[in-house]
Structure 1
Amino acid sequence: MRNLLDLTWRLLRGGGRRGLLGSSLTLAAVGVSTALLLFAVAINFAFAGRAERGAWRNPEPPTGATAGGPPRAVEAVRGEFSGDRRITVVHVAVLSPGVSPPRGVSRLPAPGEVVMSPALAELARDDGSVGRRFPQKRAGTIGDEALVHPGELVAVVGHAPGEDIMTAKYKGDYRLGVSATKVPDLTGSPSPDAGAYQALAAVASVLMVVPLLVFGGAAARLTVARRDRRLAALRLVGATPGQVVAMTVAEAVITAFAGAVLGLLLYTVAIPPLSQVRIAGGAWFASDIWPGPLPIAAVLLAVPLLVGLSAVVGLRRVVVSPLGVARRETPPAMRFVRVVALLACLAAVPAFGAGASVTVVVVVLSLSFLAVNLVGPWVVAMIGRITARTAKRPARLLAGRRLVDDPRSAWRTVSGVALTGFVAGFIGLLAPSASISVENDPVTAWLLQDIRTGTLIVLLVSFLVAIVSAGITAASAVLDRRQTYALLRLAGTDLSVLDRARRLETLIPLTVMGGGSIAAGMFCAAPFARLAMSATGGLTLLVCAAAGFAGVIGAGALSRPLLRSVTTDPAPRPD
């Protein structure tokens, strides 16, 4: 085993300048996907932390004879606004001694006293209208452990049990109205709003994580032709299948682990700007954005495992038919069962509606995502056959033949944008309009603004994945085919023809699969669209489609100098 590892390390180091470039592409791909994966995981912990810190303001009465013991306090919560900033006021009356304050609150105020968060105390000092709302004596502070977000405006006002506000019932929206509740302690439970945000975060995570996992798996197949030919040669000179698999896993895991560590560093650097994104009225504590040691360790272990597994799956041809790989034979066509899997997932969508649980929505979206990724290479192969048969120019013929010869590689180049199209199609219909102002309805306007912010974040992450994926895989494809490109150039093919063929190889499947993915996303969103469908959805889709095409074209253009470089090699040979 040690000899295999030594040989793997020698091959990894001795690949030359272009071999080093190929490993660097994999390193960059894994680093970007790891950083974004950490973000997708962290948002769930961030919203869970907010829900936990704000639970004490959502009083929960005992529901059984012994649940929580007898009532020892009365709690009433109301919301009000100062401009566009929300002030949460918690009214408390103690029924029996010994009631502990919530974690983060210095002490419970007595009747006629008030405890404020630092931001509210500063606002009351600077703004006389806010100060006049709280004439009570200042009795303490509310720390970060009791605040949903930094700078939150919160007050705890002490009362006697018999005061009117301690016997009030709900008036209007529960988020603004007042209702007194007798409770055994001041712990409470997460509010419905907090639960809604957690549900939305879970859906957003799926919309980001699945493309990231696909991208991470594709990273293991970068520079695949170069590595497959090298391993096939080793297989033909006597290496066993187990040795070939072990070498591949070792090479992939070494590179992937280094990329995962790089991704962790990138995410750490990104935490300060990420913490300034305002959701639900405020920014984030840095500890919210940091997912913690166990999730980080899980990601750092899962990413190399995924890359190693993907590399092993791609070794079937090398292990079973090394001679075919060495001779660069076209692999057999993929089966129609891939399309059946996608149709089955889409057929299940109408059975669910807006009342479906979050778990159901997450499962349906995940399966639809994976089915789109599964059917992608099959569709690309079909597009290649049609393109080659109808080609009237050399560049189009070359592009069609390349799509038929290696549809998986072509799909990897456009998969990021195609899956982003699915995301855009899904959330484009659900993007709420901005017609509700803060003065008609502040709570609803606030929620819709948060949904728009979340939509923008998901799209930005998806497009970042798509553009980085397109750029890295395009460069990798040039390295994989450098011998073919160089031989065609020596045979007299003009460089502009090769470059045009390379562009068509991306743009043709991108047009078909991008449009199909947008349609599939819209179809999956249809059962939920009645919740927030607006006229802005069409504009969102148009912008997404234009940005996706522009990003892929721009990313592909970056590898044009590399194409020129590999075609100038006077003696092209395999690595």
Structure 2
Amino acid sequence: MKATLSLSWRLLRGGGRRGMLGTWLTFGAVAVSTALLLFAVAANFAFDARADRGAWRNPVAATSGAVAIEAVRNDYVRDRQITVVDLAALGANAPAPPGLPRFPAPGEAWLSPALAALAKELPADQLAARYPKVAGQIGDEGLVHSSELVAVVGHRPDAAAMTAPRSDDWVVGVAPTKVASLAGTPTQEAEAYQVLALIASVLMVVPLLVFGGAAARLTVARRDQRLAALRLIGATPGQVVTMTVAEAAIVAFAGALSGAILYGLAVPLLSRIQIGGGAWYLADLWPSPLVLAGVLVAVPLLVGLSAVAGLRRVVVSPLGVAKRETPPGLRFFRVVALLAVLAAVPMLSRGTSVGIIAVVIGLAFLCINLVGPWVVALIGRITAGSARRPARLLAGRRLVDDPRSAWRTVSGVALTGFVAGFLGLLSPGAFTPDPGPVQLRVAVPSGPVAAKVDEAKERLRKGGVTATVKAEKKLVVAALGAAVTPEAIDRARTALDGLTPGRTPTSEADDQHLGFQLLADVGAGTVVVLSVSFLVAIASSGITAASSVLDRRQTYALLRLAGTPLEVLDKARRAETLIPLTVMGGGAIAVGAFCAVPFMLGSMSVNGLITLTTCVVLGFAGVIGAGALSRPLLRAVTADPAPRPD
């Protein structure tokens, strides 16, 4: 074993300048995959951390031993939501809320740092007057993110704010609830973000895993030739496998470690991404030591297994590898597997668990990767059969001879096409609030509404706000007009604050605030997922294109020696990339769109069409650009056409 590992290290170091270039390509591919994989994994833990910190605001009713009464309502300032938590102690043993040193006393308020800063910035009649007795600020452990606006207000248990009925609609708030602790459960809003994060992670992780596995197959022809030669001179299959695993694991571990460092350097920039109304705490985006260790072990293991999976020909028929025999054709069962997964997609409904949805999406990804080489081989036969020029004939024959290698060059963009097709149908349209007259409404669940109308008029008059106030059923409605300024709206909110205990003056746009925010975040998440996918696709195309040139350097040299112009070789190289990319990219987009149909909320939006168009343009541009970068390498490997032994 020691001798085998020593030989592996010598072969790795003694591969020559071009051999080391292949090693560096693998190193780069693994580093990029690891960094982006850590981001995809950490995003889920980040949303979980947010959900845990905000869970205390979603009270669980006590079955016995209640220690406090908790209620939640949403207020607004400058079109930003303020989460107001009303608390009342039922005894001396009421626990301190997260982020507070003690339970709030009746009448006092504790504000988040962002809300406290805003209260100092704005005139008192627009915000600060709503919280006349501020006792301190809420710590980070009680906040979802640093820019969140939160107020914790203390009351007596018999105060009207803690006894008056409120709406049970989670968008508006939570009715007064007797609780045994302030632990709570994640809100429906937090759970929605967790579901979206899981789906987004699947859309990012599967291409990353495919890319990481493909990294092990870079410069595969050079390695196969070398290992086949060792088999022919007496190396056992076990020794060949051990050398392959050792070589792949060494490079992969170094790449994974570098990728983790790269991700750590990028965390401060990633934390600035605005999701859910604010940026992120750095600790949220940094995975735990256990997760980090798992990724650093899993990535080299995946690369090692992928490398071993390609050794079947070397172990079974080393003479065939040495003679460069064409491997047997691919089986049609690959297409059957994809069709079987697609047949299951229409059976999905909105009631299906998110886990099943994620699994189906992942299987669709993997089946596209499985069927890709089969389709590329078919494309190669059609291309070669219809060729009228040497470059096209060479491209077709190359696709038939090694469809797996050709697929690795375009697989990144093809899988990104699946992501674009899936998200393109789900991308929200441009939703904006109705710019009509602003009307603030305050519910009056009990008592005469007329008296509240008169009180509202007096409050608005003293606040210097011009408004038409009237009663509509159990509502006091203050019409401020269409041209009213944000300052006047906030003065009206402050003036009407407390008109009905436990009720907040809100407009129609306020009631839709969470919906607009969620749709905006879906759009931002789409951009993030597609950006990650394109980074993978472009890196994959560039690395595999260069690796392909290195793998075939002897073939290119022999063709050049036979008189083939360099321009013909370059055209053939471009054609064997662009032809399958056009077919497989379009097919992957169609499959992604098909998988998204069960989750569509309506017809395809303009934003979705723009997303798809942008993806197609950027995908082709990225592959063409990546391929152009390998042209100097092609010129270099054919500069000396005399074939040399590896």
- TM bucket (normalised to shorter chain) is over 0.9
Contact 2:202 2:361 in 1 (8 A): yes
Superimposed CA distance per residue, residues 215-260 of structure 1 (whole angstroms, 9 cap, x where no aligned partner): 0000000000000000000000000000000000000000000000
Superimposed CA distance per residue, residues 389-434 of structure 1 (whole angstroms, 9 cap, x where no aligned partner): 1100000000000001100000000000000000111110000012
Shift in Å at residue 507 of structure 1?
0.3
The corresponding residue for 1:190 is: 186
Q: Give percent identity, aligned residues only.
A: 67
Contact 2:391 2:569 in 1 (8 A): yes
Task: Say which is worse superposed, 350-359 or 329-338, in terms of deviation.
Answer: 350-359
Matched residues in 1 for 2:580 and 2:103: separation? 64
Shift in Å at residue 127 of structure 1?
1.1
Superimposed CA distance per residue, residues 331-378 of structure 1 (whole angstroms, 9 cap, x where no aligned partner): 000100000000000000011112211011011101111111000000
The corresponding residue for 1:56 is: 56
Shift in Å at residue 131 of structure 1?
3.7
The corresponding residue for 1:518 is: 589
The corresponding residue for 2:18 is: 18
Contact 1:432 1:532 in 2 (8 A): no
Q: Does 1:339 align with 2:335?
A: yes
Contact 1:436 1:444 in 2 (8 A): no
Correspondence for 2:414 among 413, 418, 423? 418
Correspondence for 1:262 among 241, 258, 263? 258
Q: Does 1:538 align with 2:534?
A: no
Contact 1:73 1:184 in 2 (8 A): yes
Q: Does 1:286 align with 2:357?
A: no
The corresponding residue for 2:73 is: 78
Q: Does 1:127 align with 2:122?
A: yes
What letter matches 2:325 in structure 1?
E
Correspondence for 1:456 among 505, 520, 527? 527
The corresponding residue for 1:36 is: 36
Shift in Å at residue 534 of structure 1?
2.3
Matched residues in 2 for 1:77 and 1:108: separation? 16
Q: Does 1:483 align with 2:550?
A: no
**Which secondary structure state, in structure 2, belongs to the residue aligned with residue 340 of structure 1?**
helix
Shift in Å at residue 183 of structure 1?
1.0
Matched residues in 1 for 2:99 and 2:643: separation? 68
Q: Does 1:236 align with 2:232?
A: yes
Matched residues in 1 for 2:174 and 2:430: separation? 28
Q: Does 1:551 align with 2:546?
A: no
The 5 Å alignment of 1:99-110 reads 99-110=94-105
Judging changes above 3 Å, is the alpha-carbon distance between structure 1 residues 79 and 438 closer, same or farther for their aligned structure 2 residues? farther
Matched residues in 2 for 1:177 and 1:55: separation? 14
The corresponding residue for 2:452 is: none
Judging changes above 3 Å, is the alpha-carbon distance between structure 1 residues 408 and 133 closer, same or farther for their aligned structure 2 residues? farther
The 5 Å alignment of 1:498-513 reads 498-513=569-584
Shift in Å at residue 112 of structure 1?
0.9
Task: Say which is worse superposed, 539-548 or 228-237, in terms of deviation.
Answer: 539-548
Judging changes above 3 Å, is the alpha-carbon distance between structure 1 residues 438 and 568 closer, same or farther for their aligned structure 2 residues? farther
**Which secondary structure state, in structure 2, belongs to the residue aligned with residue 189 of structure 1?**
coil
Correspondence for 1:97 among 80, 92, 99? 92
The 5 Å alignment of 1:64-463 reads 67=63, 69-128=64-123, 129-171=125-167, 173-437=169-433, 440=509, 441-463=512-534
Shift in Å at residue 86 of structure 1?
2.0
**Which secondary structure state, in structure 2, belongs to the residue aligned with residue 139 of structure 1?**
strand
Structure 1 gaps, min length 5: none
Contact 1:75 1:91 in 2 (8 A): yes
Matched residues in 2 for 1:460 and 1:532: separation? 24
Matched residues in 2 for 1:284 and 1:375: separation? 39
Shift in Å at residue 574 of structure 1?
3.6
Shift in Å at residue 509 of structure 1?
0.4
Contact 1:57 1:90 in 2 (8 A): yes
Shift in Å at residue 292 of structure 1?
1.1
Q: Does 1:45 align with 2:45?
A: yes
Shift in Å at residue 531 of structure 1?
6.1
The corresponding residue for 2:485 is: none
Judging changes above 3 Å, is the alpha-carbon distance between structure 1 residues 550 and 178 closer, same or farther for their aligned structure 2 residues? same
Structure 2 gaps, min length 5: 436-508
The corresponding residue for 2:442 is: none
Shift in Å at residue 84 of structure 1?
3.6
**Which secondary structure state, in structure 2, belongs to the residue aligned with residue 530 of structure 1?**
coil
**Which secondary structure state, in structure 2, belongs to the residue aligned with residue 179 of structure 1?**
strand
Shift in Å at residue 539 of structure 1?
1.8
Shift in Å at residue 173 of structure 1?
4.7
Shift in Å at residue 72 of structure 1?
1.8
Task: Say which is worse superposed, 505-514 or 126-135, in terms of deviation.
Answer: 126-135
Q: Please identify the structure whose Cα radius of gyration is greater.
A: 2
Shift in Å at residue 323 of structure 1?
0.5
The corresponding residue for 2:487 is: none
**Which secondary structure state, in structure 1, belongs to the residue aligned with residue 96 of structure 2?**
coil
Matched residues in 1 for 2:299 and 2:287: separation? 16
What letter matches 2:102 in structure 1?
R
Contact 1:117 1:141 in 2 (8 A): yes
Matched residues in 2 for 1:168 and 1:354: separation? 36
Matched residues in 2 for 1:322 and 1:373: separation? 27
Contact 1:84 1:438 in 2 (8 A): no
**Which secondary structure state, in structure 1, belongs to the residue aligned with residue 76 of structure 2?**
strand
Matched residues in 2 for 1:152 and 1:219: separation? 42
Shift in Å at residue 442 of structure 1?
1.9
The corresponding residue for 1:573 is: 644
Matched residues in 2 for 1:51 and 1:361: separation? 21
Contact 1:318 1:325 in 2 (8 A): yes
What is the TM-score normalised by the length of structure 1? 0.97
What letter matches 1:78 in structure 2?
R
Contact 1:226 1:574 in 2 (8 A): no
**Which secondary structure state, in structure 1, belongs to the residue aligned with residue 69 of structure 2?**
strand
Shift in Å at residue 80 of structure 1?
2.0
**Which secondary structure state, in structure 1, belongs to the residue aligned with residue 87 of structure 2?**
strand
What letter matches 1:21 in structure 2?
L
Shift in Å at residue 514 of structure 1?
0.4
The corresponding residue for 1:496 is: 567
Judging changes above 3 Å, is the alpha-carbon distance between structure 1 residues 193 and 530 closer, same or farther for their aligned structure 2 residues? same
Matched residues in 2 for 1:531 and 1:8: separation? 57
**Which secondary structure state, in structure 1, belongs to the residue aligned with residue 50 of structure 2?**
helix
Shift in Å at residue 496 of structure 1?
0.6
**Which secondary structure state, in structure 1, belongs to the residue aligned with residue 601 of structure 2?**
helix
What is the TM-score normalised by the length of structure 2? 0.87
